[in-house]
Amino acid sequence: MERAVKERIHFHPLSTISVTGSEIPESFPLHWHNAAEFTLILKDGCQYRVSDTLYELNAGDVLLVWPQQIHETVKIPRGGALFIQFPSVIIENNLDLVSISRFLYECRAIYAKDHPELTDFIKAKIWDIKKIYDSSDALSETRCKLCIYDILLKVGEHVMSLAKKDSAAGDRSGSGWNYIHTACSYIIENSSEDLKQAEVAKHLGLSNFYFSKLFKQYMHISFPTYLARIRVKKVASLLLDERLSITECAFLSGFQSTTTFNKVFRDITGYSPRDYRKLYR
């Protein structure tokens, strides 16, 4: 895997949100950061790589890069895009969004030809954010965040609509999704503990076997895999504190074994914890 480089994001001095247009370089090497980055494509012929996937985008399309995802600007024409960046806490402080992050973070490119209403909505909101960002409004940061939540809400509705069609065509009542939402919330809140699948099932009032089957049906991954991903994200945040050893970060995030932790961390991120920490520096 090609070594990634850290991108330094210089946020507006009075805001935790950044808007960039004309200053966007026509190419930029593999990198990652803790901010989410939503790009509105203004001209045809833009190419981006997120993880191992190359996206070829045209005017009106939208690219969504989520926190900690490795990405690259392969080639864009001058003035070909406008993007906003915002800190991951906007997502992480909202339990609804965190619980569906499994689906959100897989939504990277939204094409205007396939979803014109959604891309038009995001386009309007990004231009609203730029207008607010460039203003002298004393409440500009709050107004920008409201627009970002509008985008996240629409994208969340979009990915959950697709997920429900794919996983629960026979669930007319929607009760399965209620169980899963409650389960995800419980897992997130207790992931730092020695959490077992049976404990979550008991919390829901379900048998362990039925909960395991239900979780995999709706989330498309097993309970242990989901829990591991939540813990790895916590480790990534803790690694920013250089006063903590890597082992301390692992145990504070709920991992019970350093051997398991190292393997899981590399499987999910593509890097060892030590290399990952170096890249964040």
Which residue, chain included where needed, has tokens 């190359």? 54
pLDDT of residue 174: 62
Taking phi first (over 0 means left), then psi (-120 to 50 degrees means alpha), and beta for anything else, what does residue 127 get?
A: alpha
CATH architecture of the region 5-165 = Sandwich (2.60)
Domains 5-165 and 223-281 share a fold: no
Amino acid type, 127: W
pTM for the whole thing? 0.81
Rounded to whole angstroms, how far apart are CA atoms 132 and 134? 5
Q: Residue-wise over 190-221: b if at least 16 C-beta within 10 A, else e?
A: bbeeebebeebbeebebeeeebbebbeebbee
> Which sequence spans correspond to the domains of the chain?
5-165, 173-220, 223-281
The tokens of 276 are what? Answer: 């990952």
Query: Per-residue confidence of the chain (281 residues) as pLDDT tens digits?
Result: 444 444 444 444 335 899 988 778 889 988 888 889 999 999 999 999 998 899 999 999 999 999 888 889 999 999 999 999 999 989 988 888 988 888 999 999 999 999 999 999 999 999 999 999 999 889 999 999 999 999 999 999 999 888 877 665 445 456 788 899 899 999 999 999 999 999 999 999 999 999 999 999 888 899 999 999 999 988 988 888 889 999 999 999 999 999 999 999 999 888 889 888 877 64
For residues 83 and 133, is the Cβ–Cβ distance under 8 A?
A: no
The tokens of 60 are what? Answer: 């009106």
The tokens of 62 are what? Answer: 């939208």
Angle at 210 between CA 255 and CA 104, to 5 degrees: 60
**What secondary structure letter does DSSP report for 7?**
P
The tokens of 108 are what? Answer: 């990277």
CA distances from 251 to 230, 234, 246, 256, 260 (A): 13, 11, 9, 6, 11
pLDDT of residue 239: 86
Question: H or E element: which one contains 175?
Answer: helix 175-190
- Residue 154: name the closest of 120, 183, 182 by CA: 120
The CATH class that applies to domain 223-281 reads mainly alpha
For residues 17 and 145, is the Cβ–Cβ distance under 8 A?
A: yes
pLDDT of residue 93: 86
pLDDT of residue 34: 82
Alpha helices of 53-100 — where are they, by DSSP H?
89-92, 95-99
Q: Residue-wise over 33-70: b if at least 16 C-beta within 10 A, else e?
A: bbbbbbbbbbeeebebebeeeebebeebbbbbbbbbeb
